[in-house]
Amino acid sequence: RAKRSEIGASAVFDEALHGWAARRLDVENGLRQALRRGELRLHYQPIVRAGDGFVERMEALVRWHRPGHGVLGPAEFLEIAGEAGLMPQVDRWVLRLACAQAAQWQTPVPIAVNLSPIMFAQPGTADLVTAALAESGLPAHRLAIEIPETLLGNDRPIVTETLKAIRAFGVEVHLDDFGAQYSSLARLRDFKIDVLKIDRSFVANIDDPTNRAIVRAVAGLARSLGIRTVAEGVETDEQLRELQDAQCDFVQGYLIARPMTGQWATDFAARGAGSVVHHQADP
């Protein structure tokens, strides 16, 4: 009996493995085509001033309009893209398109573009940023690069040198998802960061006194280091009030707006300063 269940388990395992491998291969091949055929699109989510809702910036978030599959979010393909070694191509594509689109907007709102860790482990990334700016005509001050928190754990010189070069152009560096995994406060000092984005997990649980204390401490620390803060994933009025109290500079989340197409994003930004607006578009 033990034998039979072992066989059964291994058959199930084989099938699962096969299913996973097949899915991975399918996504990988599909993504290579997507890059050639222009199936990747960008949505933009506003980051607004916590006090008055002024639109500070739009974060570009990639979507894959895959024929026959609908619209896929990053969670559905970025991990496989990474394993397949396609992240540099995706990031390069996103950076160039985001700069090109933003340069065409009637409202000169700044943008933020996410780059994956691999981009800082290889040469040419600083050149890529200058090329995207030059090609599009987007002024450097309208671009920020969001870097993942895990990058703080990497002390290879190429990482800090790339970031230094990017900042030297006048492009800001923003630290994404702060507090989610690896947080070394000492590294905040070594990395020159303009903006720190407090991870959504702290915002989601801000009614918990410990989380509230963490958010206040991080916002206070950042302020004393001359770093501005964005709270991510703001979904309720209560969270917004807590974040205003904690003196976070900016907020981003479904309460303010969901990621939306460039057209919607520019309309949103064109409304300019105002109270924190409730706006739902384009889920």
Residue ranges in contact with ligand C2E by CB under 6 A: 45, 61-62, 73-75, 78, 91, 94, 114-116, 146, 176-177, 232-235, 252-254, 259
Closest approach of Cβ 31 to Mg ion, in Å? 20
Closest approach of Cβ 109 to ligand C2E, in Å? 17
Q: Which is nearer to ligand C2E, 105 or 120 (CB)?
A: 120
From candidates 56, 91, 172, 177, binder to Mg ion by CB under 5 A: 177
Closest approach of Cβ 72 to Mg ion, in Å? 18
Question: Residue 249 interacts with Mg ion (CB under 5 A)?
Answer: no
Q: Which is nearer to Mg ion, 30 or 239 (CB)?
A: 239
The one segment of 37-45, 88-96, 168-176, 268-276 that binds Mg ion by CB under 5 A = 168-176
Question: Residue 91 interacts with Mg ion (CB under 5 A)?
Answer: no
Binding at 144: pick from ligand C2E, Mg ion, none (beta carbon under 5-8 Å per type): none
Label each residue of the chain as H, E or C.
CHHHHHHHHHHHHHHHHHHHHHHHHHHHHHHHHHHHHCCEEEEEEEEEECCCCCEEEEEEEEEEEECCCEEECHHHCHHHHHHCCCHHHHHHHHHHHHHHHHHHCCCCCCEEEECCHHHHCCCCHHHHHHHHHHHHCCCHHHEEEEEEHHHHHCCCHHHHHHHHHHHHCCCEEEEEEECCCCCCHHHHHHCCCCEEEECHHHHHCCCCHHHHHHHHHHHHHHHHCCCEEEECCCCCHHHHHHHHHCCCCEECCCCCECCEEHHHHHHHHHCCCCCCCCECCCC
Question: Residue 229 interacts with Mg ion (CB under 5 A)?
Answer: no
Binding at 94: pick from Mg ion, ligand C2E, none (beta carbon under 5-8 Å per type): ligand C2E
Q: Residues in the site for Mg ion, rule: CB under 5 A?
A: 114, 146, 176-177, 232
